[in-house]
Structure 1
Amino acid sequence: MRRLGTVVGAGVLLLLTAACANQQENPTTPPPTPTTTAPADTEPARQPARTPPAGGERVAPQQIDATALPKGYPVMVWTEDDGRTLGVVTQEGGCGKASVEVSSQDSARVAVTMVETVPSDPAPCTMDLRYPKVTTELDQPLDQRTVVLTNEQRKS
C-alpha cells in the first residue's frame, strides 16, 4: 500500500510539473504590452550641446573656424544681446571646470579660447564628460566676423 501511495504521488507531481511547464511555453493569454503616450502638445527634449539657449541666435557654420579643435569636440556658437554676448559649448570632465576667453578681436575675426582648468594636485575624479554652455562679452557685436575656436587645458 505504501508503494502505491508513492507511485500515485510521483505521478501527480509529474503531471503538475508538466502542466506548469506547458503553460509557460504556450501561454493562453499574451503578456500585456507596455504603452507610453506623450501629450501631443509637448516637444522632444532639446539636446543641450547642439542647441543654443532660449533667446540665443545660432552663428552660421560658415562663420565658424573650428579647425584647431580636436576631432569630436562639440562645436556650437551663438550670440545673445544683439550680438554683444558670444556663447559656446565647451567640454569638461571629472574635476575639470570649463571657461571661455576672448583671445583677440578685430574687424574680421574673434578668437575664442575654451579653457578646461584641472586641479594641479592629483585627486580622485569621475570619468564623465560634460558640455556646459558658457558666454563671454564682446567689444562690438559679432555681425559678420568669423569666430575662431581653440581649446587648451590648464592646471589650477
Structure 2
Amino acid sequence: MRWKATMCGLGLVLLAATACGEQGGGVQPGSGGAPSSSEAAPTAPTIPATELPPVMPGGPRQMQPPADTTPVPASRVDSAALPSDFPREVFVSADGRQLFIRAEEGGCGRAAAEVAEQNAQQVVVDLVESRSNLAGQMCTMDIRYPVVSATLSDPLGERTVVLKSVKRGY
C-alpha cells in the first residue's frame, strides 16, 4: 500500500514540474495565427541613411564594369608591376575621364583605385587593398575580383595605363 502512495506522490511532482515548464503566449506551431499586439515581436529601430555604418568587407560590390564602357586595349595597359595572378582588365567611360579596373581583394580586404600620377604619356593607377583593422574580426579565406573606379583630370585618349599593386594595413 505504501508503494501506491509513493507512486501517487511522484506523479503529482511530475505533473507540477511539467506544468511549470509550459510557457504561454506566442504562436503555437501550426496554429497559423500571429501573436497579439501585446505580444508582438520588438521591431528594430530605423536608422537614417546618413547614419548607416560603412559597408564591411564581403558586402555588395560592383562585379562588372558599367554597360557604357569600352575595354582599353592590352597594348595600352602596363601591368608589369602586378603579381602574375592579378587580373588585368581596364575599361574606360564614354567621356574618357573614368577608368574601371578589375581589382583583387580577399577576406577582410577592400579594393580601391587611386590615380597616383597623370602626364601626357601615361596614367599611373595604384590598386590598393586595405585590410580592416577591427581587433578580433574573423575573415573569410576567399578572393573576390570587384571592379573599382578612378577619375582622371583629362580624358585618357591614347595614354598608357600603368597598374601597380599596394597593400595597406597588413
TM-score above 0.5: yes
Deviation at 1:123, TM superposition (A): 2.7
* Residues 4-43 of structure 1: pairs in structure 2 closer than 5 A: none
Taking the aligned partners of 2:136 and 2:159, their CA distance within structure 1 comes to 40
Q: How many residues align?
A: 108
Give the AA of the match of 1:82. Answer: D
**Residue type of the partner of 2:86?**
Y
> Where do 5+ consecutive residues of structure 1 fail to align?
1-47
CA distance in 1, matches of 2:156, 2:99: 8
**In 2, distance between residues paired with 1:110 and 1:61?**
14
Q: Indicate which of 130, 153, 156 corresponds to 1:142.
A: 156
Instruction: Give the aligned residue type for 1:154.
Output: R
Is the 2:70–2:94 contact (alpha carbons within 8 Å) kept by the matching residues of 1? Answer: no
Equivalent in the alignment of 1:32: none
* Identity score, percent: 41
| 2:93 aligned with 1:71 | no
Whether the 8 Å CA contact 1:109–1:145 is kept in 2: the answer is: yes
What's the TM-score once normalised by structure 2's chain length?
0.60
1:107 maps to amino acid:
A
1:105 paired with 2:79, answer no
The separation in 2 between residues aligned to 1:82 and 1:93, in whole angstroms, is: 31
**2:15 corresponds to which residue?**
none
Output the amino acid matched with 1:153: K
Superposed CA offset, 1:65-106 (max 9, x none): 000000110010010141111110111001111111000000
1:86 is the counterpart of 2:99: yes
CA–CA separation in structure 1 for the residues paired with 2:127 and 2:143: 15
TM-score of the superposed pair, with normalisation by structure 1: 0.65
Contact 1:52/1:76 (8 A) holds in 2: no
Aligned to 2:69: 56
Residues 109 and 123 (structure 1), Cα distance of their counterparts in 2 relative to 1, 3 Å cut: same
AA paired with 1:109?
Answer: Q
State the Cα distance separating 1:53 from its structure 2 match: 3.1
Give every structure 1 segment of 4 or more consecutive aligned residues whose post-TM-superposition deviation is greater than 3 Å: none
Unaligned runs of 5+ in 2: 1-61
Tell which deviates more after alignment, 52-61 or 94-103: 52-61
Secondary structure of residue in 2 paired with 1:153: strand
**For 1:65 and 1:75, how far apart are their aligned partners in 2?**
9
| Cα RMSD after superposing both structures | 1.8
